[in-house]
C-alpha cells in the first residue's frame, strides 16, 4: 500500500506540473512584447548565495540601461542576504526554494503575485537548467511580455530572446543575458553591501572570542548538502590551519552557517593551534565584514568563496569536480589549488554528474596540505600577482 501511495503522489505531482506548464503557455500566447524601454523589470535567480552574488554585475548593468525603471529581484529566502542593501534593486521578492518542485497551488500563487505587478521585462539569471526551466514557466504564467534568459531550461521556447549556452564563467554568462536587453557591463566586479550593523556584529563577535587583536586566518570547510562533493576534508583544513596560524602568527576562525557546525567542530578537534568556530554565529553580512579584515581565507568552492572575492579578501580556494574557469574567484587576490586529473573538472554548465570514481572525488582527495600551503605562500609573497594557480 505504501508503494501505491508513493506512485499516486508522483502521478499527482506530474499532473500538476503539466497543468502549470499549460497555464504558462496559454499566458505566454496572450501576452505581447512591448517597447524596449520597460517601466517594470524583474530579475529572477532562484539559486544559492554565491550564485546570486555572481549575478550582481548583470543586475548593475540592467540598472544602468534602465535607470528610470522599477527593478525588482525574485530570489529565495535563503539567498536574499546576498542582495540585501544592493542599491540597484528596488525591492527584493522572496520565495521558498522548493517552490519549483512544489504543489500547483504554490506555483500558481507565485505566478499570480508577479502578474499583479505588471512587469514589462523578465530576466532569468540562472545557470542550472532545472531552476531555469521553472523560471521560464513562471514568467510566462505571470504574463510578462518580454522574457530573457539562457538557452538552457526545459521550457526555453517560452523565452522571447535567449543567450547561447557556452562554457564560460557564470558572471559572463549572466552578462550575456542582459546584453539581450541592451545592457552593457561596466566591469565584472561583484557587489556586496556590508551594513554598519553587520560590521558591528562581526567586531563584537571578534572581541568576545579574542580574535580582534590582529587580522585572523579564516577557514571554510563546509558547504550546502548538495555541495558535499566539493568539500575538501576536515583533516586537510586542520593541517593547513595549524601551519598557517604558526607562520602568520594569527588566530584561526572556522566560519559557516548552522549546517556547518559539525564539520567546523571536526576541524577544531583536529587542530593543535588555538582556533575558534563562528559557524552559525554570524550572518552573511557579518561574515563578509569578518572576511574583509582577514589575513587569509582558505575555502572550498562555495558561496563564501565569492563573498570573499566581493570584499577583496586574499583567498586560497580548493577545487575538485568544479571548473575554476566557470566557478572560480575573480579580481580579488586569490590562488586556486586543484589536482590535474584527466576527469577533472566534471561539473560544468548546469550539470552535476555523479562521480564514477571509487573512492569518490579523487580530485579532492589528491589535493594535499602542502599544495595548499605552497599556494598560500605564493599568494602572500610581496611580489604576488592577483591570481595564482597551483596544481
Q: Are residues 147 and 91 in the same domain?
A: yes
Residue 222 has pLDDT above 50, yes or no: yes
**What pairs with residue 32 in β-bridges?**
none
User: From CA 266, how far away is CA 247, in angstroms rounded?
Assistant: 22
Write down the pLDDT at residue 297. 98
Distance between CA atoms of residues 53 and 277, nearest Å: 24
Angle between helices 129-141 and 2-30 (to 10 degrees): 50
* pTM of the entire predicted model: 0.87
Instruction: Give the dihedral sign, CA 57/71/40/73.
Output: positive
pLDDT in tens, 185-194: 988 899 999 9
In angstroms, the CA 388 to CA 391 distance is 10
pLDDT of residue 156: 82
Angle CA 205–210–215, to nearest 5: 85
Q: All 3 cell numbers of residue 368?
A: 594535499
Instruction: Show the beta-strand stretches assigned E in the chain.
Output: 40-45, 70-76, 91-95, 121-124, 146-150, 161-163, 217-220, 252-254, 275-277, 296-300, 315-318, 334-337, 387-390
Across the range 295-321, mean pLDDT stands at 95
Residue-number span of the structural domain to which 86 is assigned:
14-179
What was the pLDDT predicted at 64? 96
- Specify whether 200 is located in the same domain as 74: no
Q: Which pLDDT value is given to residue 122?
A: 97
In a domain, 284, yes or no: yes
Q: Is 361 exposed, middle or buried (0-12, 13-18, 19+ CB in 10 A)?
A: buried
Provide mean pLDDT across the span 18-35: 52
Same domain, 52 and 147: yes
Average pLDDT score over the chain: 87
Question: Which of the residue ranges 100-109, 242-251, 348-357 has the most confident prediction, judged by mean pLDDT?
Answer: 242-251
- Residue in 305, 315, 292 with CA at minimum distance from that of residue 203: 292
**Average confidence (pLDDT) over 294-307:** 95
- Kindly tell me if the per-residue pLDDT of 378 is higher than 80: yes
As beta bridge partners, residue 220 has 299
Query: d(Cα 309, Cα 360) in Å, to the nearest integer?
Result: 29
Q: What is the pLDDT of residues 116-143, one digit of tens each?
A: 999 999 999 987 777 888 999 999 999 9
385 domain-assigned: yes
Q: Which of 218, 216, 205, 183 is nearest to 298 (CA)?
A: 218
Q: At what angle do helices 170-179 and 56-65 cross, to 10 degrees?
A: 20
pLDDT of residue 17: 57
Residue 191 lies in a domain: no
Per-residue pLDDT, 155: 82
The sign of the CA dihedral 338, 293, 86, 57 is negative
Q: Are residues 148 and 237 in the same domain?
A: no
2 or 55, greater pLDDT: 55
pLDDT at 2: 43
Listed residue (352, 345, 354) closest to 130, CA to CA: 352
Separation CA 247–CA 339 (nearest Å):
24
Confidence at 35, pLDDT banded by 50, 70, 90: very low
- The pLDDT assigned to 43 comes to 98
For the four alpha carbons of 187, 190, 195 and 201, in that order, the dihedral sign comes to negative
Contact (Cβ atoms closer than 8 angstroms) between residue 297 and residue 308: yes
Q: How is residue 92 written as a grid cell?
A: 527584493
355 vs 44, 320, 347, 348, CA distance in Å? 30, 11, 10, 13
In 254-279, which positions are buried (b, 16+ CB within 10 angstroms) versus exposed (e)? bbbbeebbebbebbbebbeeebbbbb
- For 81-101, the pLDDT digits (tens) are 999 999 999 999 999 988 877
Residue 387 above 80 pLDDT? no
Q: What is the sign of the dihedral through the CA atoms of 132, 135, 140 and 144?
A: negative
Residues 252, 298: Cα–Cα separation, whole Å: 11
Residues 175 and 200 in one domain: no
**Cα 202–Cα 90–Cα 200 angle in degrees, nearest 5:** 10
Does the pLDDT at position 9 exceed 90? Answer: no
Say what the pLDDT of residue 1 is.
Answer: 42
Tell whether 214 and 128 lie within a shared domain: no
Contacts of 375 (CB under 8 A, 6+ apart): 316, 335, 336, 337, 388, 390
Question: Mean per-residue pLDDT for 237-254?
Answer: 97
Listed residue (243, 299, 230, 313) closest to 275, CA to CA: 243
Residue 100 is given by DSSP the state G
Which of 186 and 289 is assigned the larger pLDDT? 289
CATH number at residue 264: 3.40.50.2000
Q: Residue 359: its pLDDT value, please?
A: 56
Number of folded domains in the chain? 2
Confidence (pLDDT) at 120:
95
**What is the DSSP-derived secondary structure letter of residue 158?**
G
Which of 137-151, 167-181, 375-389 has the weakest average pLDDT? 375-389
290 and 374 share one domain: yes
Mean local confidence (pLDDT), 267-285: 97
User: What's the whole-number mean pLDDT along residues 231-249?
Assistant: 95
Domain end marker among 135, 152, 179: 179
Domain termination site, one of 149, 179, 209: 179
Question: Based on the domain organization, do 234 and 127 belong to the same domain?
Answer: no
Determine, yes or no, domain membership for 251.
yes
pLDDT above 70: percentage of residues in the chain: 83
224 and 371 in a single domain? The answer is: yes
> What does DSSP assign to residue 20?
H
121 shares a domain with 56: yes
Most confident stretch, 22-31, 120-129, 218-227: 120-129
Query: Is pLDDT at 358 greater than 70 in this prediction?
Result: no
Amino acid at each position: 500500500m505504501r508503494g501505491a501511495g508513493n506512485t499516486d503522489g508522483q502521478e499527482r505531482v506530474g499532473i500538476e506540473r503539466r497543468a502549470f506548464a499549460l497555464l504558462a503557455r496559454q499566458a505566454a500566447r496572450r501576452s505581447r512584447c512591448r517597447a524596449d524601454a520597460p517601466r517594470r523589470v524583474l530579475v529572477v535567480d532562484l539559486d544559492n548565495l554565491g550564485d546570486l552574488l555572481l549575478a550582481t554585475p548583470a543586475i548593475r548593468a540592467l540598472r544602468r540601461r534602465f535607470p528610470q525603471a522599477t527593478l525588482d529581484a525574485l530570489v529565495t529566502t535563503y539567498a536574499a542576504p546576498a542582495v540585501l542593501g544592493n542599491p540597484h534593486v528596488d525591492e527584493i521578492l522572496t520565495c521558498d526554494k522548493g517552490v519549483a518542485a512544489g504543489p500547483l497551488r504554490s506555483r500558481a500563487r507565485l505566478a499570480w503575485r508577479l502578474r499583479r505587478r505588471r512587469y514589462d521585462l523578465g530576466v532569468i539569471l540562472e545557470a542550472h537548467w532545472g531552476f531555469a526551466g521553472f523560471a521560464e514557466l513562471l514568467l510566462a504564467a505571470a504574463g510578462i511580455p518580454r522574457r530573457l534568459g539562457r538557452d538552457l531550461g526545459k521550457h526555453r521556447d517560452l523565452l522571447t530572446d535567449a543567450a547561447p549556452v557556452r562554457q564560460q564563467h557564470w558572471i559572463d554568462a549572466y552578462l550575456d543575458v542582459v546584453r539581450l536587453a541592451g545592457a552593457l557591463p561596466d566591469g565584472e566586479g561583484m557587489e556586496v553591501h556590508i551594513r554598519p550593523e553587520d560590521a558591528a556584529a562581526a567586531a563584537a563577535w571578534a572581541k568576545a572570542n579574542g580574535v580582534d587583536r590582529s587580522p585572523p586566518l579564516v577557514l571554510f570547510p563546509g558547504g550546502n548538502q548538495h555541495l558535499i562533493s566539493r568539500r575538501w576534508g576536515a583533516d586537510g583544513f586542520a593541517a593547513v590551519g595549524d601551519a598557517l596560524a604558526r607562520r602568520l602568527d594569527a588566530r584561526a576562525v572556522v566560519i559557516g552557517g548552522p549546517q556547518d557546525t559539525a564539520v567546523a567542530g571536526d576541524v577544531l578537534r583536529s587542530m593543535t593551534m588555538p582556533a575558534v568556530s563562528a559557524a552559525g554565529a554570524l550572518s552573511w553580512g557579518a561574515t563578509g565584514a569578518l572576511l574583509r579584515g582577514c589575513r587569509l581565507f582558505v575555502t572550498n568552492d562555495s558561496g563564501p568563496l565569492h563573498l570573499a572575492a566581493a570584499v577583496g579578501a586574499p583567498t586560497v580556494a580548493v577545487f575538485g569536480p568544479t571548473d575554476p574557469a566557470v566557478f572560480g574567484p575573480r579580481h580579488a587576490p586569490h590562488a586556486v589549488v586543484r589536482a590535474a586529473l584527466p576527469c577533472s573538472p566534471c561539473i560544468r554548465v548546469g550539470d552535476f554528474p555523479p562521480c564514477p570514481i571509487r573512492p569518490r572525488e579523487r580530485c579532492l582527495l589528491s589535493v594535499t596540505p602542502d599544495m595548499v600551503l605552497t599556494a598560500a605562500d605564493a599568494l602572500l609573497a610581496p611580489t604576488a600577482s592577483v591570481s595564482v594557480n597551483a596544481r
